[in-house]
Structure 1
């Protein structure tokens, strides 16, 4: 088999991480449109991830956060996103490099991407995007009257809302999307 000196697998993964970056950038500017919301799973051990010691102890390998009702001060750069969330009634600020993201899922339209984080799997060289499995182990948080309206991410300098049961960030350690998700693999687009 010929050797891929261009590393198309890495180029494709970078392009798909660009989709995540673009969606989050749009959410900063315009809020979350319609029913869109995001499950983002990331490797908490990856270089550049910044979270409190409390959260790192609780989620030593990976963490899934939900950006839906209760988040604030979302900001996006070329290489990272930063967001404020409440965990157990305690406001936290997370900094997540795009390269640490293992999964992205928008249950409102059943769209998802899953990535192998370099250096975190059994074969660190295999970093091409993978299809998501679809067990129904991750469920979106139930909306509540006290929840912040969709798309109301707050700008820089805002204070977090008072944390109550509706203000809790959803955190899951299983990155699988809700049942029935169809994820398009790169093979579907390749000429055969």
Structure 2
């Protein structure tokens, strides 16, 4: 049965501009999924092969990381929560995620505002979410670097490190957006 208001893929030539903020609502829902996953792991720990890549802007207000990491990753950083991390906490009221990690053998607590998070992935199941920063993205430079922590909990890379591409972990098939 045909629908004159069909806005499915392939009918883009006639797509009306939405008066409802669906994109914003989806971003909020996806961040909710990420926060639920982090909260679950903070209570229960990681199960099986699950592990998380968390990418965030280091140059936004409220991000608390050691000065040496901020100098090394002035715009963006990716951390891996897998084997050795501690005190993972999600404070929804304050809008922050905090976690303890070791970089170069030195333990540090990172405090990351949820609004600074640009990506979340669980590579074990090829699950990946990307978050837009909105207006804030225009205020800061777009170049980035990344770091990972691993079994040895050492930061990888230097000031010219490569960005960890999460494209390989994206779900295949139709996007919910």
Count of equivalent residues: 152
CA contact (8 A) 2:119 2:131 kept: yes
Q: Which has the larger radius of gyration?
A: 2
What aligned pairs does 1:70-81 form with structure 2 within 5 A after superposition? Answer: 70-78=84-92, 79-81=95-97
Find the aligned partners of 2:19 and 2:102 in 1 and give their Cα distance: 45
Q: Secondary structure at the match of 1:75?
A: strand
Greater fraction helix: 2
2:23 match: 9
Q: Secondary structure at the match of 2:125?
A: coil
Aligned to 2:67, which of 53, 65, 74?
53
Report the alpha carbon displacement of residue 51 of structure 1 after superposing the two structures with TM: 1.0
Aligned to 2:120, which of 101, 104, 108?
104
2:154 match: 168
Q: Quick one: structure 1 residues 101 and 23, their matched pair in 2 at CA, closer, same or farther if it must change by over 3 Å?
A: same
Is 1:185 the counterpart of 2:175? The answer is yes
Normalising by structure 1, report the TM-score: 0.68
Is 1:93 the counterpart of 2:109? The answer is yes
Cα displacement string for residues 50-71 of structure 1 (whole angstroms, at most 9, x for unaligned residues): 1121111111000000000110
**Unaligned runs of at least 5 residues, structure 2:** 1-14, 141-146
1:25 match: 39
- RCO greater where, 1 or 2, for CA within 8 Å and sep 6 or more? 1
Q: Quick one: structure 1 residues 30 and 167, their matched pair in 2 at CA, closer, same or farther if it must change by over 3 Å?
A: same
Find the aligned partners of 2:81 and 2:103 in 1 and give their Cα distance: 13
Cα displacement string for residues 52-94 of structure 1 (whole angstroms, at most 9, x for unaligned residues): 2111111100000000011011111112110010111111110
State which drifts further: 177-186 or 24-33. 177-186
Is 1:69 the counterpart of 2:58? The answer is no
CA contact (8 A) 1:66 1:170 kept: no
Report the alpha carbon displacement of residue 179 of structure 1 after superposing the two structures with TM: 3.2
